[in-house]
Amino acid sequence: MESKENIKFETVIRPKNKWFDLRLGEVIKYRDLVYVFVKRNFSTLYKQTILGPAWIVITEIITTVIYTIIFGNIANIGTNGVPTFLFYLSGNTVWGFFSKCFINTSTTFTSNAAIFGKVYFPRLVMPISVALTQLITFAIQFTLFLCFLVFYVFKGSVSPNYALMPLFFLLVIIMTVMSLGFGIIISSLTTKYRDLTVMISFGITVWMYITPIVYPISIVPDRWRLIFMLNPMSSIVEAFRYLFLGVGELKAGYLIYSSAIAVFAFLFGTILFNRIEKTFMDTV
């Protein structure tokens, strides 16, 4: 105890993290763990299945067919002249990525309590690896979408805006950041309030119906339009369709609004996450 003050330590564990000390460098140090988790998420999903990863494509096609029958043929919702199948496939692809990424990150703390309770690693590794897993799934489903798109383009029934296509990457980034942000906000709050897990499961369905997935925004009456566009996902889905199907709305203002929401949710989420992660084991 004599020389108590003159030793410097590399790591100091304090009761609470500082608000903005996100320690992202540490996450980078654990990048191998991110990789391993992503690999695990994939390889465990389709172990002992015959079709394996083909299921990613099959489920996508089946849901789209169902949407086409119900919303396109029975309910007869217009698609602005785009082939119905392609219209619903595009909505499905975008929403599937966003919702899965959101739902899977929102259970970060509760579903990983067993691992978190035993070893330390930057907790942010979990939601990041979930997002990467979903990105890869999205890449596969997007390729599927592209195949059908090429088919319909040759048939001459759609005319994409080729010049704007690089914007696609921006859309993906906004969606990833936004779903991660909302996901980790929910995951931080569910450590205390389990009510949210119940809310999320039907909340995501409600969210889907207020997002132009199974209908184009153009059928929404003008007086409701602004309220619909307050939903940050609306402009993204519409922009996606504008790029690839040539119909829909692309307005810079709406996209900036969505990006702002995404960045805000992500920052707020990581800060909240950072506060919660230290002691969540005591409350989970």
Partner 1 sequence: MSDVIIRIDDVYKQYRLGSIGGRTLQEDFQNITAKLLRRKDSDTDSAAVKSGERFYALSGVSLDIYRGDTLGIIGQNGAGKSTLLKLLSRVTAPTKGTISYNGRISSMLEVGTGFHPELTGRENVYLNGAILGMNKAEIDRKFDEIVDFAELSQFIDTPIKRYSSGMYVKLAFSVSAHLDADILIMDEVLAVGDVRFQQKCLQKMGAVASNEGRTVLYVSHNMATIRQLCNRCAVLEKGLLKYDGDVASGIEAYLSNQDTDQKVFNDLSDAVRPDFKYGGRSVLKSLELIGKENNYFVNDEKVSFLLEIENREDTDELHLQFSVKSMDEITVATFLSPDVFSVKKDTITRLKVTLDISEIVSGSYKMEIVVAKANHICNFVHYDKISAALCFTKELPTDTSYTLAWKTQKFGYIQNKKITIEKV
Residues engaged in binding partner 1 (CB under 8 A): 1, 3, 7, 9-16, 30, 32-33, 35-37, 39-40, 43-44, 47-48, 114-121, 192-195, 278-279, 281-284
Compute the least distance from the CB of residue 184 to partner 1, in Å: 19
Task: Name which of 107 and 234 has its Cβ closer to partner 1.
Answer: 107
Task: Name which of 13 and 74 has its Cβ closer to partner 1.
Answer: 13
Task: Name which of 143 and 279 has its Cβ closer to partner 1.
Answer: 279
Cβ pair 216, 236 in contact under 8 A: no
Residues 6+ apart with CB under 8 A from 101: 130, 131, 134, 135, 175, 176, 179, 180, 183
Compute the least distance from the CB of residue 31 to partner 1, in Å: 8
- Measuring CA to CA, how many Å separate 100 from each of 43, 80, 158, 179, 182? 17, 27, 28, 9, 12
Residue for token pair 């119905």: 84
Distance, in Å, from the CA atom of 157 to the CA atom of 183, rounded to the nearest integer, reads 38
Compute the least distance from the CB of residue 35 to partner 1, in Å: 7
Task: Name which of 39 and 251 has its Cβ closer to partner 1.
Answer: 39
User: CA 267: distance to chain centroid?
Assistant: 16
Region for 73 from its dihedrals, namely left if φ exceeds 0, alpha if ψ lies in -120 to 50, beta otherwise: alpha
Residues 6+ apart with CB under 8 A from 206: none
Task: Name which of 42 and 215 has its Cβ closer to partner 1.
Answer: 42
Compute the least distance from the CB of residue 51 to partner 1, in Å: 16
Compute the least distance from the CB of residue 97 to partner 1, in Å: 24
Compute the least distance from the CB of residue 34 to partner 1, in Å: 9
Cβ pair 269, 98 in contact under 8 A: no
Distance, in Å, from the CA atom of 179 to the CA atom of 190, rounded to the nearest integer, reads 16
Task: Name which of 13 and 226 has its Cβ closer to partner 1.
Answer: 13
